[in-house]
Structure 1
């Protein structure tokens, strides 16, 4: 079955058609941005101007009201065009989708923030810290919030703040000693005391500019204390599927490159192209099968969130989607590089970037060991 046959909503058709108009432009930026660790400003500006940042905002708030399934499919397509752009904007889409679906803030704050999103605001959570590792492991942040008469004062350093220089708002986690809880604070980028460290220098996802966010005596109004971690009970978050969606797209891009190479590369040692060789055909068949498996599992998991008849929370499928897509996607890229051979390591070819970007996905939540452990607890009836 062709991937296009799985596209069925008007939102999906609309945005895939739009992506086609800028695909080559986005791709042309990718190599330079990767080499220079430069954020894809032009790509993100286009997405904002076209209204893609309103995708997961409900229609009642002025957004497009896309479902989790819509987001997963569109992010997969965008990830195949440029992984760093897709992962960056995906954090915003995910945060907005979860906030409004689960009504995580007070109505007044949701209304105000929806207005900001409609005017082009970009948001991400700033939760990781060097001392705690991944926030999904439950460590208490060193970033602290001190109560003042007119709000709070925050100090701390957040790592892995993706899209840091492009964001208009940060949702920062901090330990609030007075209630012995971890709270979340909505902070505007122009608030005094906010600083971007400019220290992102990684092998993979270089263009996301996920610099450290430094908070020096940052004053936050009382009403911007928007959440307490764990309040209201833990719920499955299907919006986090934006992560495997991007990496599925990167694996698809590697597959596409290897197939085109196999169809056109013709060394003088053989008749025809390498695509005529049985060993290459075996690799292409395996690569395609891995992609089919990953795509159908991920997209069907997203569809479960849309299916109103499903009563069982989609915990295990969500965790397994990320693990399965990452592991099979890595294998797809490895096979693609074997097909292309030593040329796959040439810096002017995108395969080496796909490989590096894909490795970065291993360190996005949920971590593999945590996913397997939580699935095991579910199977064993520990919850």
Structure 2
């Protein structure tokens, strides 16, 4: 099934790319891309096989995401939250009760899409520890939710969301499984970013939304802290975007022949140097991403708990190297890379969005500094 999905992406790559560029230019949501992926069964890639899904390993998931991102980064990043979170919940068996099985079967049978709605403008990124202002109150046998969530990627086509809220009686922070067709749910189209324009990351508004009591997501007790290996979908996405820029520049350099040259510009020394640098950066990114994914898959839960800095370093490295790759591709292509019709100007905008996905560069460097201070290189 995974190989079939790769073949489908290869066969449909150009259509995904064309629609992605159209919607990027229009500032609209690429519904057609999501519909096509749903019809192909993509929402089930990380759903466990026992629930009818493909049960992709972490490495298989990342390779699919890289391939999708090389066609349309916004579509890939959005789908990554859905498939990645399902992978995470399954890996650690995080949820009590039947909600996860229900979600998985909906993703397979109805191609339902899911995301976590956690970010709020007043609190900033959830990774910084801000307390949500969204509230949950128990009334007449129901949970009643009120609040607003920002940056809810894929919101125009979401069927379900895990909404974080504060339970008013206890001040606990909890997640609630919310169907997007409930009364009181609306979308405010606030997403006006110049990067990743097609993610549909609008505001989710909840006004007296009533859900069953059993829709509170109760986390299972864990012997070790769950580690978010699934977040490698973020660097996988930016690797795909950088790869697309590299491919474009390489093709351009081997086909463009100004009348001042006998051959193509790929034979000019400074262009050759940039192509070599692109190849080196690409190999560094791919090697680090998939080496780490393999380490994570082979590791025990206890060993994974010590991999936080490794995972963070991958995101930092791949994103920043990817930005450099797009810059090199634009230098090879020249001023035409700034044309609105040229794909490189979109890759330039989209890949910079990676700087603002978790974990942030400053947090990664601080984490690595802590580890460096503890390192013992020489015995006394």
> What is the TM-score normalised by the length of structure 2?
0.93
Question: Post-superposition shift, 1:376?
Answer: 3.3
Find 2:199's aligned residue among 193, 208, 233.
208
Find 2:148's aligned residue among 157, 160, 169.
157
Q: Is 2:315 aligned against 1:322?
A: yes
Question: What does 1:40-51 correspond to in 2, within 5 Å?
Answer: 40-51=30-41
Q: Do 1:263 and 1:275's aligned partners in 2 also have CA atoms closer than 8 Å?
A: yes
Question: Post-superposition shift, 1:381?
Answer: 5.6
Q: Is 2:346 aligned against 1:353?
A: yes
1:4 maps to what in 2?
A: none
Looking at structure 2, the residues matched to 153 and 232 of structure 1 have their Cα atoms a distance apart, in angstroms, of 32
Looking at structure 1, the residues matched to 69 and 119 of structure 2 have their Cα atoms a distance apart, in angstroms, of 23
| Partner-residue secondary structure (3-state), 2:312 | helix
Output one character per residue of 1:216-237: Cα deviation in whole Å (capped at 9) or x when no partner: 1111211111046997763211
Looking at structure 1, the residues matched to 162 and 341 of structure 2 have their Cα atoms a distance apart, in angstroms, of 37
Looking at structure 2, the residues matched to 360 and 300 of structure 1 have their Cα atoms a distance apart, in angstroms, of 24
| Partner-residue secondary structure (3-state), 1:260 | helix
Question: Post-superposition shift, 1:211?
Answer: 0.4
Change (3 A) 1:307 1:231: closer
Q: Do 1:37 and 1:209's aligned partners in 2 also have CA atoms closer than 8 Å?
A: no
Change (3 A) 1:108 1:310: closer
2:294 maps to what in 1?
A: 303
Q: Which 5+ residue runs of structure 2 have no aligned equivalent?
A: 376-380
| Partner-residue secondary structure (3-state), 1:89 | helix
2:378 maps to what in 1?
A: none
| Partner-residue secondary structure (3-state), 1:29 | helix
Find 1:377's aligned residue among 354, 361, 370.
370
Q: Is 2:53 aligned against 1:63?
A: yes
Deviates more, 1:246-255 or 1:300-309: 300-309
Find 1:181's aligned residue among 172, 175, 178.
172
Looking at structure 2, the residues matched to 310 and 202 of structure 1 have their Cα atoms a distance apart, in angstroms, of 38
| Partner-residue secondary structure (3-state), 2:144 | strand
Change (3 A) 1:342 1:47: same
1:23 maps to what in 2?
A: 13
Looking at structure 2, the residues matched to 344 and 379 of structure 1 have their Cα atoms a distance apart, in angstroms, of 40
Find 1:53's aligned residue among 36, 43, 46.
43
Change (3 A) 1:379 1:184: farther
Question: Post-superposition shift, 1:214?
Answer: 0.7
1:122 maps to what in 2?
A: 113
Change (3 A) 1:355 1:378: same
Q: Do 1:204 and 1:356's aligned partners in 2 also have CA atoms closer than 8 Å?
A: yes
Find 1:83's aligned residue among 73, 76, 83.
73
Looking at structure 2, the residues matched to 233 and 192 of structure 1 have their Cα atoms a distance apart, in angstroms, of 38
Looking at structure 2, the residues matched to 98 and 170 of structure 1 have their Cα atoms a distance apart, in angstroms, of 15
Q: Is 2:289 aligned against 1:293?
A: no
Deviates more, 1:264-273 or 1:198-207: 264-273
2:237 maps to what in 1?
A: 246
Question: Post-superposition shift, 1:147?
Answer: 2.0
Q: Do 2:95 and 2:219's aligned partners in 1 also have CA atoms closer than 8 Å?
A: no
Task: Tell me the number of residue pairs that the alignment of Structure 1 and Structure 2 aligns.
Answer: 372
Looking at structure 1, the residues matched to 97 and 287 of structure 2 have their Cα atoms a distance apart, in angstroms, of 37
Q: Do 1:172 and 1:187's aligned partners in 2 also have CA atoms closer than 8 Å?
A: yes
Deviates more, 1:352-361 or 1:33-42: 33-42
Q: Is 2:262 aligned against 1:280?
A: no
Looking at structure 1, the residues matched to 245 and 128 of structure 2 have their Cα atoms a distance apart, in angstroms, of 32
> What is the TM-score normalised by the length of structure 1?
0.93
Q: Do 1:184 and 1:228's aligned partners in 2 also have CA atoms closer than 8 Å?
A: no
Change (3 A) 1:113 1:354: same
Looking at structure 2, the residues matched to 131 and 105 of structure 1 have their Cα atoms a distance apart, in angstroms, of 28
| Partner-residue secondary structure (3-state), 2:292 | helix
Question: What does 1:187-206 correspond to in 2, within 5 Å?
Answer: 187-206=178-197
Question: Post-superposition shift, 1:370?
Answer: 1.6
Q: Which 5+ residue runs of structure 1 have no aligned equivalent?
A: 1-9
